[in-house]
Amino acid sequence: MAGIVDYRTFLQQARAEVQNLQALEARRDQALLDKRQSGRVLENEKKALEEDIRLTTKTRRDEAAAVYDKQIAEKEEKLRGVKSSRDDARGQGVKARIDAETAGLRAENQELKEQIRILFKKYYVPSFCNNWYYYAVYCPKRLWEYLALFLSAAAGLLLAPWILYKLLPVEGLIWKIVVYVVFDAAFVGLFGLVGGYIREDHITALSKGREIRDQIRANKKKIRAISRSIRRDKDETLYDLGRFDDLIAQIGQEITSLNGQKDEALNTFDVVTKNIIADEVTAAHQGKLAELNADCEQKARDLDGLEKAIREKNRLLDESYAPHLGREFLTEERLNSLMEIMENRHITSLGEALSEYRETHD
């Protein structure tokens, strides 16, 4: 303990140095928080700069593309209109061709229909017999006509009496049988009367009418076949569509040219203009970035200075006070306790004070 004259003063000085160290550490901790906060502000500003560059670049690129997109859209709309006009012209041409190539068959069918009308009038055949349904029911020949006859019979013999029974204010099996028997008898009688009276009395005219109707049907099949063949014909030279094709080709070339110009403009934007925009936006942020960067550097220097001061203060404590007290006693609380022990118990030896502290705090 040589060299220490006044232990009380020695402990007071040690406590002052410890307090100074604590103050430095508190300032160091606050400086560290300030440095981190400044770093976050700087990073946020850098992110804001990047986002500003991204949005500005995207907006200007979209604007550059929109100029060409508008022109391309107008050309495409015009192209659709020309194609629609071409389809209309082709449709009119096809219709005219069908009309021309089927005119003979249609005229023949009109003549055949007139023949049937004259035939039926000559032999006093009722006009209602001149339709497909009468021939299907009373003079069936084809499969679909027999099917029509079957469905008509089923409706007349089964469905109609059932509906009638439901409408009548009667119930029971007897009434149902009566309704079916009476209605079916009337239906068969009426069917036979019409069929027997008309068909048997006018069989020759009806047979001739059948032949004429078959000829009309055959002509209609020919008309449909001709129409189908014309619509499927790929040769369009007959329709004078060259002016439409030339205009379509011209507009297509204009669209291709505009797309090429757009690609070239966007490529120039991506290679050159994009960098110019980035420089412009960065220049607008440069002042604030420089200020924030300088603030971060200053806070870093302040922190380094405090760290250096703390190291110096710890070195002083280690060299001047730790050899006499031990590093574990270099706290404000323990130094206060040692001073109280020496004052209250009138101890003049630092070693005795340390022993007393250990005994009372074990």
Confidence band of 80 (pLDDT split at 50, 70, 90): very high
57/160 same-domain check: no
Asked if pLDDT for residue 65 goes beyond 90, the answer is: yes
27/61 same-domain check: yes
- For 277-298, give the secondary structure using H, E and C: HHHHHHHHHHHHHHHHHHHHHH
pLDDT at position 59: 92
122/173 same-domain check: yes
pLDDT at position 247: 93
Say which amino acid occupies 281. Answer: V
The answer to whether residue 268 is domain-embedded is: yes
Last residue of a domain, one of 248, 266, 289: 248
Dihedral, 284, 289, 290, 296 alpha carbons, nearest 10? 170
244/347 same-domain check: no
pLDDT tens by residue, 206-263 = 889 889 989 999 999 999 999 999 999 888 888 888 899 999 999 999 999 999 999 9
How far is C-alpha 161 from the chain's CA centre? 59
Structural domain including 121 reads 101-248
pLDDT at position 272: 92
145/231 same-domain check: yes
Predicted structure pTM score: 0.57
pLDDT tens by residue, 121-151 = 888 888 888 888 888 887 788 888 888 878 8
The answer to whether residue 94 is domain-embedded is: no
27/148 same-domain check: no
Asked if pLDDT for residue 1 goes beyond 70, the answer is: no
The answer to whether residue 142 is domain-embedded is: yes
179/144 same-domain check: yes
pLDDT tens by residue, 330-360 = 887 788 888 887 777 766 677 777 887 787 7
DSSP three-state, residue 331? coil
211/289 same-domain check: no
User: What is the domain count for the chain?
Assistant: 3
The answer to whether residue 224 is domain-embedded is: yes
- Give the DSSP H or E segment for 219: helix 203-232
The answer to whether residue 262 is domain-embedded is: yes
The answer to whether residue 89 is domain-embedded is: no
46/115 same-domain check: no
